[in-house]
Structure 1
């Protein structure tokens, strides 16, 4: 049976996520997990949430601004697929959000917001290492086909690849790394805004620059963002794209 291009991409994604260097920034790794999940499953968005040291669920990464807003909505409203799955430490099968769908009953305030944003269904897979669950990966689909049974299995494989990397650490080390990532989240948001304003680009493109710079130099995303916020912007980040200002 011939190997397809997509199968090759899937294999490369799993290998990349599972075999990062031991000193890898967990925040970069989780952002890459959401990026792979969106591109390989054809999703509208994806995000990760983790259990913090106090046992509460916190949003950590989002594939884009829309997904980030919908994740924040869940925390503000106190309801949503991400919260339910992370608290239950398990997967959430695909749920339709439109009128008459199960999601409209489960999350009467969140579901209409998601539908207005173009999301027709959601599902969640756990982020786990062995028997321990550390968080959840939320999948947001604009078309029902994106949350097929095969897609769900692939999403879990990608999450488990990250789990394999995390599994090389003790439970306390994992908790510490996730807490550090949570503590730098606000700084990264500030850096995205500052860089976007400076270069006259959108915040998504600004984040891509921060991510690329940090990963190519094997630096922590939070450290790069901190330098931007403090005004010590690396020269490579300030090169204006050709279309800027036109």
Structure 2
């Protein structure tokens, strides 16, 4: 379900009577609930972090009223900004060039809204030059040293009202949880792979040096410490060297 679907369904219930007004509000709430449910399902079905990011920005552009394009960027405490997903190339370029201070307010508040970018000292000049006149920025769940930002832009000023900001916050909550879940799944997959590689390397050393498993693992640890190389990288080198071409 998209933002246009919401708009079309709203008109079906437009009427001047009080009862019809109540029905209209209820219908809008139901359509929004359906849209957010569909978004949650779409995020859950995404495969991996990259697919989750792509799905997230596409959903944000479609569901949040007034949005013309969307992106997700990661803001590091050091000041660097990296754009990791976008629906329009302009978003990628502008967000990647954003300064740390542009979104610093999101550390203490979950939402920043810019009604007219021509009057904004942050990325305002670049956004106005790209004909993006409104901005809505939402902090997603993040680590202690960094946080992610969902950026929404519109080509007209004052495009995002309170309702749009509310919808964006609900969607941002879904996106934040989905990204954390994807990150945990990738960490688990990496841990499983690391365990398998270390196990293979341990077995190779046991056969090659005629030692037991504990001694083989200690051998790997010493090599890691002496060479200042991660244990999994040492193990991977041993496995690669023992694998026939």
The two structures have a TM-score, normalised by structure 2, of 0.53
Q: How does 1:24-63 map to 2 (within 5 A)?
A: 24-41=47-64, 42-51=66-75, 56-63=80-87
2:141 is equivalent to residue 128 of structure 1 = yes
Indicate if the aligned counterparts of 2:117 and 2:135 stay in contact, CA closer than 8 A: no
Indicate if the aligned counterparts of 1:97 and 1:121 stay in contact, CA closer than 8 A: yes
Rounded to whole Å, the distance in 2 between the matches of 1:133 and 1:161 is: 19
Gaps of 5+ in 2: 1-22, 189-245
Q: List per-residue Cα deviations over 1:165-198 (Å, max 9, x = no partner).
A: 344478xx48969xxxxxxxxxxxxxxxxxxxxx
Q: Which is bigger in relative contact order (C-alpha 8 A, separation at least 6)? A: 1
When the two chains are superposed, the root-mean-square deviation of aligned CA atoms in Å is: 3.5
2:79 is equivalent to residue 72 of structure 1 = no
Q: How does 1:197-236 map to 2 (within 5 A)?
A: none
Gaps of 5+ in 1: 178-246
2:104 is equivalent to residue 84 of structure 1 = yes
- Could you tell me how far 1:34 is from its partner in structure 2? 0.9
Structure whose alpha-carbon radius of gyration is higher? 2
SS of the equivalent of 1:143 reads coil
- Could you tell me how far 1:70 is from its partner in structure 2? 1.5
With over 3 angstroms needed to count, the CA separation of the structure-2 counterparts of 1:169 and 1:68, relative to structure 1, is closer
Which has more helix, going by share of residues? 2
How many residues are aligned here? Answer: 161
Rounded to whole Å, the distance in 1 between the matches of 2:180 and 2:93 is: 30
2:114 is equivalent to residue 95 of structure 1 = yes
- Could you tell me how far 1:45 is from its partner in structure 2? 1.4
